Chain A
Amino acid sequence: MLETLRNAAPFLLQALWTTLWLGVVSFALSLAVGLLVAVVRLYGPPILRLLAAAFVSVVRGTPLLTQILLVYYGLPQLGVTIEAIPAVILTLALHAGAYTSEDIRGGMQSVDRGQWEAGYTVGMSFAQVLRRIILPQAVQVITPSLGNRFITMIKDTSLASVVTVVELTRVAEQVGSATFRYIEMFVIVAIIYWGANSLLSVGQARLERHLRRAYQ
């Protein structure tokens, strides 16, 4: 196993890097999607609210793998061809965005209505109150669930392997099939995922502690 690891190390490092940046970029975009969908669902005009609710329902009700395949293999049929990596990022961002929108929506609703009113009474606009008053308070509430979403995202990047993106899981598969060292390779990759996510969990716990301590 050690020799397998030594031989595969350069590929694994490269692949870990791909996995991480895919996860980070997709997650950042999913926050933007989630915020937009949450705001529309809470405060948008009725038709947009309905569309946003339908988006969340469809995305949460269908498998991520199906969505990735649809975007990568399906869209070209309609004349829209997207490279593998952008296709994966787009899909992951929309998919996770549907989930984070629910977290963000709940977080915003947990902020007392009086906070909106206090912001309005000093003459602030909707966008100003949202950005300056509501979101900072919502963040405190939703950080734990967003942390979990991020970890889920890192694991979900493994599905990019089915559309030729060379990330951790794909490397394990490739090296495994070239050397017949499947068990070793998948165990190694599993450990790498686990290690990365454990580090993220520690970071998340620290962030939560920090946020709990703030404002005292």
Chain B
Amino acid sequence: MNPEELHAQGIPHPHQSRACQIRAEGLHKRFGALEVLKGVSLSINKGEVVVIMGPSGSGKTTLIRCINFLEEPDQGRVMVCGLEVESGGRGGERGRRIRQLRAKAGMVFQSFNLFPHMTALGNVIEGPLQVLRMSKAEAEVLGVQLLAKVGLDAKVHEYPSRLSGGQKQRVAIARALAMSPEVVLFDEPTSALDPELHEEVLQTMRQLAKDGMTMIVVTHEVKFAREVADRVIFMDGGVIVEEGPPAEFFANPRHPRTRAFLRLVE
């Protein structure tokens, strides 16, 4: 089933341009004594590509993990295209809304986290089968399409153990896309890869950005940020220190902490 048909069934088209925002408001998160997020707010327009940079421990990974509630924020709320989930509370209804939120906000992990007992295709169609209740035949058509899109037509029936790191990560991207998400969150998608494998993953992400996908990317890849990002956000100590369009951000970083960080990564 292609995105148009999905859309006809009430599942939003991934790339349609309409007033849909991804917002995080006042996110706080504490791990024991350590306050990792100190009230972070973020608003992203449909189709925008936002790169989040910052030293390790700055809270950037925690921020995107709070956006899909893999990490339960202590305070704050998240809105993805009208669907809102607030911190605190429990119960089945809230659980359902969190699952809906996650289906709208796909995620790509640093360590891939492919399901080792399923083929590449199996990995991609698991969400559509189990969550969207798509028929197997439809899901497989979609899965093969998406794997072709990330350049893995030849690996459809391979198990992850037979794939290189770059191929694994591209399967993971296809898996996230299979849910027709409104936004895809990337958590350092190239950090676990050998340098020569970065480019194939970044190329896939570039293509995705070109297709109009909304993306939030935590990465240290400055070149990618310069070329692809609409906006770069710099985090340090659990807050957003500064943000701006990449040209401006890299040429004239205003904050001394940003300047210190950029000297290290560039």
Q: Kindly list chain A residues whose C-beta atoms are within 8 Å of the C-beta of B116.
A: 137, 215
> From residue 150 to 208 of chain B, which have CB atoms closer than 8 A to chain A?
159-162, 175-176, 178-179
Q: Is the CB of A124 within 8 A of B130?
A: yes
Q: Kindly list chain B residues whose C-beta atoms are within 8 Å of the C-beta of A121.
A: 68, 70, 102, 105-107, 176
Contact-size category for A: 20 to 34
Check A122/B106 contact, CB under 8 A, given A117-B70, A132-B130, A216-B161: yes
Judge if A194 is at the interface, Cβ distance under 8 Å: no
Q: Is the CB of B162 within 8 A of A128?
A: no
Q: Kindly list chain B residues whose C-beta atoms are within 8 Å of the C-beta of A120.
A: 70, 99, 102
Q: Is the CB of B113 within 8 A of A124?
A: no
The main secondary structure of chain B at its interface with chain A is mixed
Q: Kindly list chain B residues whose C-beta atoms are within 8 Å of the C-beta of A122.
A: 102-103, 106, 126-127, 130-131, 175-176, 178-179
Judge if B114 is at the interface, Cβ distance under 8 Å: yes
Instruction: From A112, A120, A122, A136, name the one whose CB has the most chain B CB atoms within 10 angstroms.
Output: A122
Judge if A114 is at the interface, Cβ distance under 8 Å: yes
Check A118/B115 contact, CB under 8 A, given A124-B127, A216-B161: yes
Judge if A115 is at the interface, Cβ distance under 8 Å: yes
Judge if A214 is at the interface, Cβ distance under 8 Å: yes
> From residue 103 to 144 of chain A, which have CB atoms closer than 8 A to chain B?
112, 114-115, 117-125, 128, 132-133, 136-137, 140
Judge if B111 is at the interface, Cβ distance under 8 Å: yes
Contact with A along B65-101 (1 / 0, CB 8 A): 0001010000000000000000000000001000110
Instruction: State the CA gap A124–B115 with chains docked (Å).
Output: 13
Check A124/B106 contact, CB under 8 A, given A112-B113, A214-B117: no
A118, chain B: closest CB distance, angstroms: 4
Q: Is the CB of A132 within 8 A of B126?
A: yes
Instruction: State the CA gap A123–B127 with chains docked (Å).
Output: 7
Instruction: State the CA gap A133–B175 with chains docked (Å).
Output: 14
B74, chain A: closest CB distance, angstroms: 19
Q: Is the CB of B176 within 8 A of A124?
A: no
Closest to A123 in B: B103
Q: Is the CB of B162 within 8 A of A123?
A: no
Q: Is the CB of A114 within 8 A of B113?
A: yes
A-B contact pairs, 16 of them (CB 8 A): A115-B113, A117-B70, A117-B113, A118-B175, A121-B70, A121-B107, A122-B106, A122-B127, A122-B175, A122-B176, A122-B178, A123-B100, A124-B127, A125-B99, A215-B116, A215-B161
Further pairs besides A114-B113, A140-B117: 19, Cβ < 8 Å: A114-B111, A115-B115, A117-B113, A118-B113, A119-B115, A120-B99, A121-B70, A121-B102, A121-B176, A122-B106, A122-B127, A122-B176, A123-B100, A123-B102, A123-B103, A123-B127, A123-B179, A124-B131, A215-B161
A-B interface, 4 closest residue pairs, ranked by CB to CB distance from nearest: A122-B127, A123-B103, A118-B113, A114-B113
